[in-house]
Chain A
């Protein structure tokens, strides 16, 4: 080892606390990056592995002339496999629990070429099963503790059919159990999926949907093939074309994954920026303190470039060590996050790899940060004139009255120690700016994370407590009539009852979008449409739809209803802002008018699968009891508890909250490391004058108060900037997640600002502690002896 390298090693040991703080900040930043990027890659790979293994469809086409469409799709050179099937939503009953379910038609001769299932328990359908067997999705089986041999009752057109459960399966279409893009969040006791013989699904009811599903040969040409097949589907009369990215389960999983992907670069950059600042300040101080040594080395023949390399080496060493630690720890955490995620969501395949790319990027981050931070101090070291340094002359500092004293002249009459504190802020501008920036970065990290939590909580509250006012939804298995409404209204605990209807539609302006159209009474109390009543001569749509179809309020839009094979034109009469899902709404009266254009009667809004009963409870009722009583009513095929969906949403966000919690802790650590370093350097730079003041009677407490006050003022300066930038960062982050699935409006609680402020002040106080302890232990004699 060269002498200079040995010097560097011993310097690291001598100032181990400070170097450790900087290295730890680098390590945390790279850990965050490696963990989230690895988890992102692992989860993407896990999903893709499952999708490949189970031949997940790249495209799903519903409605239109199925035969024509299938021929066109099969003939396309980019398509590897095609399959047609029937899908229908019907009421199901598991062990007295009534819920809404989906029947998906499957061939009994073997797995289909597209959209296969993973049999977890029991077996796949067999020809000998006839139309009496079903495979149930894992989520339902877990919730109701079902196993092969149990039964399920299904309400079809011909009446109620009892099916034997022969298998418990996972499907790539329902890794996340979502009914539609408008109903991403469903409860396991509110929605289920059964895979049944194709013949059973095809004959289950009038609202059955014929689908063509396709898998492509070459994933790299997906967009091109999507466009071709979409055109073919439209030519065949279909208006409902769903690419894989839009498939509800995949879309929900991808949203989550995208969040991880975004955070894997954004937040680590904050850490590395803070670490860079801390390293820069530390190395600047070291070069200043070692001027005499540098001059001596130069005078004795060590070249300027060697000096440059020596001091660059400090930064690069910190960067490499920190990055190395971060890569190792991050890889472990990333693998753990992957496992936790796939376990929690029941993803059948878990891919965990060591990604060389992650390690390389992490190392590059560390080296670049270290080199950038060390560059200016190293250049200064290189430029030290040997003669100047050996004379021990320190460049004269020009001082002046502080800016705040110039702005507020009466401050010049403060006691001298307060003026010393105020002017200490400008004494080393680099260090002061670094402290303020460290506070700002920490607050941005903490508040951006905390703001996301507040916003999501607010969105959930708005969606489930303000917008959606009904407590339960009943799905009739017979045509909805007044008798059912009256019976439900008469039950103790029911405050109000309304009829509603929901249809799958495609809305088109310049572009088309497949969604749900729900009809309410014009004076409905079951949903809030921005404080306005439903219009009588048009529809109201979610804000995201309006953007997607390129329409404006007052313009005509086309509605295609595949179930009745009709298209009508109406006006886009209004826009609503809803956090979850993007649907359209219409009054029952106007819906009847639209149907009448095609000689269709209002009774179509009451058929099973379309008609709904919305129920609002009285305060304080036993929800489980209400479920039993309402579900037991004749004519009720399924029961959906709106409150249970709220709980599912909270569960979905559990991992998100955990990740945010980690960000908050790491943000605090970053602030601590930065402030610890700047305090230590502050004290080291002034050891001579502090020792002299102590020799002349200043107590260690008084000296500590001066240094603490400086840090506190810098922290207070950083706080408003941090809060403002943190708010902007939170807004930017939440906006980046907006899609037709989610629409978030930033809503940070005032108490969160207070909490973040108090947290930073606490961290600032804790970060001062080691430095102040060192100051209390200042050896006055040794310091003054050294100076002499």
Chain B
């Protein structure tokens, strides 16, 4: 296992250079990220591991332009995210990023189709309805389009959340504990889904998790502790999600 050379230029999707993030000030300041430098190629499935407070969610949020860095540089493709204002960051997320969270956060008063359509309409809305149906079909919910979240299982709700994140075909997919609320079987199927989007659409996907077993399916594994990347390794033979057991 080798550490990626941060200055190495290839077909990279995400590059960070001495990225740091501090929360609070003075005595209560917390250095959540310390001097992180990475180069992640396009189309990789990256798992970020670490204990609570290690900075993995903070790093995810930096990449997704939900938070702004305190110092350092963060580029996604040719775009430098550090220094963007709120409108620019929202625009970036609208077109470049899809988010999946542990607790789905679907709108309970909208059906599965409508939850996806809500995001699809943010971009080009003239075929939003069709694209929503296709996204849900792609996650295996073609027969659940008009169900409300309360009528879906946890796994199905997470699939809807994934479809919602993917309907705008973002180059980057960010997932924060996507299987944290799911049982083993359901979790595997969700991971299978996530993995397939990388292969089909050359989408760079980040998954944050406590679960080190999931790291076995990744192309690249980043281990964080106390805000630093303490280890970066490549899996030469990533496992299929069905082979995972936790």
**A680-719 CB contact bits vs B (8 Å, 1 = yes)?**
0000000011011111111110100000000000000000
Q: In the complex, A691→B164 CA distance in Å? A: 14
- Among B86, B114, B161, the residue within 8 A (CB) of A416 is B114
Q: Are B110 and A788 in contact (CB under 8 A)?
A: no
| Residue B79, interface by CB 8 Å | no
**A375-410 CB contact bits vs B (8 Å, 1 = yes)?**
000000000000000000000111110100000000
**B91-125 CB contact bits vs A (8 Å, 1 = yes)?**
10111011101110111111000110111011101
Given contacts A417-B118, A688-B105, A781-B61, contact A695 B125 (CB under 8 A): no
Q: Are B99 and A692 in contact (CB under 8 A)?
A: yes
| Residue A419, interface by CB 8 Å | yes
Q: Are A699 and B150 in contact (CB under 8 A)?
A: no
Q: Are B109 and A696 in contact (CB under 8 A)?
A: no
Q: In the complex, A788→B102 CA distance in Å? A: 6
Given contacts A420-B114, A781-B61, A781-B66, contact A696 B119 (CB under 8 A): yes
Q: Are A696 and B98 in contact (CB under 8 A)?
A: yes
Q: Report the minimum CB–CB distance from A164 to chain B (whole Å).
A: 86
| Residue A415, interface by CB 8 Å | yes
Given contacts A417-B121, A697-B95, A788-B180, contact A689 B106 (CB under 8 A): yes
- Among A415, A689, A696, the residue within 8 A (CB) of B99 is A696
Q: Report the minimum CB–CB distance from B130 to chain A (whole Å).
A: 13
Q: In the complex, A420→B106 CA distance in Å? A: 11
Q: Report the minimum CB–CB distance from A573 to chain B (whole Å).
A: 68
Q: Are B121 and A695 in contact (CB under 8 A)?
A: no
**A415-445 CB contact bits vs B (8 Å, 1 = yes)?**
1110110011011000000000000000000
Q: In the complex, A396→B154 CA distance in Å? A: 12
- Among A419, A691, A698, the residue within 8 A (CB) of B105 is A691
Q: Are A420 and B110 in contact (CB under 8 A)?
A: yes
Given contacts A399-B149, A417-B118, A417-B121, contact A695 B107 (CB under 8 A): no
Given contacts A398-B148, A416-B118, contact A689 B107 (CB under 8 A): yes
Q: Report the minimum CB–CB distance from A601 to chain B (whole Å).
A: 88
Q: Are B66 and A698 in contact (CB under 8 A)?
A: no
Given contacts A781-B66, A781-B67, A787-B105, contact A697 B87 (CB under 8 A): no
**B15-29 CB contact bits vs A (8 Å, 1 = yes)?**
000000000000000
Q: In the complex, A400→B147 CA distance in Å? A: 9
Q: Are B57 and A788 in contact (CB under 8 A)?
A: yes
Measured between beta carbons, the chain B residues less than 8 angstroms from A692 are 99, 101, 105, 161
Q: Are B102 and A787 in contact (CB under 8 A)?
A: yes
- Among A417, A420, A784, the residue within 8 A (CB) of B176 is A784
**B37-76 CB contact bits vs A (8 Å, 1 = yes)?**
0000000000000000000011001001011000000000
Q: In the complex, A487→B207 CA distance in Å? A: 107
List which B114-154 residues lie within 8 A (CB) of chain A. 114-115, 117-119, 121-123, 125, 128, 148-151
- Number of A-B residue pairs, CB cutoff 8 Å, is 118
| Residue B177, interface by CB 8 Å | yes
| Residue B12, interface by CB 8 Å | no
Given contacts A696-B99, A699-B90, contact A399 B108 (CB under 8 A): yes
Query: Looking at A400, A416, A689, A692, which has the most chain B CB atoms within 10 Å of its CB?
Result: A416
| Residue A729, interface by CB 8 Å | no
Measured between beta carbons, the chain B residues less than 8 angstroms from A20 are none
Q: Report the minimum CB–CB distance from A449 to chain B (whole Å).
A: 38
Measured between beta carbons, the chain B residues less than 8 angstroms from A396 are 150
- Among A397, A415, A780, A787, the residue within 8 A (CB) of B66 is A780
- CB closest residue in chain A, given B96: A697
Q: In the complex, A688→B104 CA distance in Å? A: 9
Q: In the complex, A397→B91 CA distance in Å? A: 32
| Residue B168, interface by CB 8 Å | yes
Q: Are B177 and A415 in contact (CB under 8 A)?
A: no
Measured between beta carbons, the chain B residues less than 8 angstroms from A420 are 107, 109-110, 114, 118
| Residue A785, interface by CB 8 Å | yes
Q: Are B109 and A424 in contact (CB under 8 A)?
A: yes
List which B175-216 residues lie within 8 A (CB) of chain A. 176-177, 180
- CB closest residue in chain A, given B168: A697
Measured between beta carbons, the chain A residues less than 8 angstroms from B93 are 694-697
Measured between beta carbons, the chain A residues less than 8 angstroms from B90 are 694, 697-700
Given contacts A427-B108, A427-B109, contact A787 B98 (CB under 8 A): no
Q: Are A415 and B125 in contact (CB under 8 A)?
A: yes
Given contacts A396-B150, A417-B118, A693-B119, contact A787 B109 (CB under 8 A): no
Q: Report the minimum CB–CB distance from A289 to chain B (whole Å).
A: 15
- CB closest residue in chain B, given A412: B114
Measured between beta carbons, the chain B residues less than 8 angstroms from A688 are 103, 105
| Residue B165, interface by CB 8 Å | yes
New contact pairs (16) apart from A417-B118, A697-B93, CB-CB < 8 Å: A398-B148, A399-B108, A415-B121, A416-B114, A416-B115, A419-B110, A420-B114, A420-B118, A426-B109, A691-B105, A695-B101, A696-B165, A697-B91, A697-B97, A697-B122, A788-B101
18 inter-chain pairs at a CB distance below 8 angstroms, sorted by A residue, are A397-B108, A398-B150, A399-B110, A416-B110, A420-B107, A689-B106, A691-B105, A693-B119, A696-B99, A696-B119, A696-B164, A697-B93, A698-B90, A700-B86, A700-B90, A787-B102, A788-B57, A788-B176
Q: Taking beta carbons and an 8 Å cutoff, which residues of B are in contact with A?
A: 57-58, 61, 64, 66-67, 86-87, 90-91, 93-95, 97-99, 101-103, 105-110, 114-115, 117-119, 121-123, 125, 128, 148-151, 161, 164-165, 168, 176-177, 180
Q: Taking beta carbons and an 8 Å cutoff, which residues of A are in contact with B?
A: 396-400, 402, 415-417, 419-420, 423-424, 426-427, 688-689, 691-700, 702, 780-781, 784-785, 787-788
Q: Which 5 A-B pairs have the closest CB atoms?
A: A697-B94, A423-B109, A692-B105, A416-B118, A416-B117
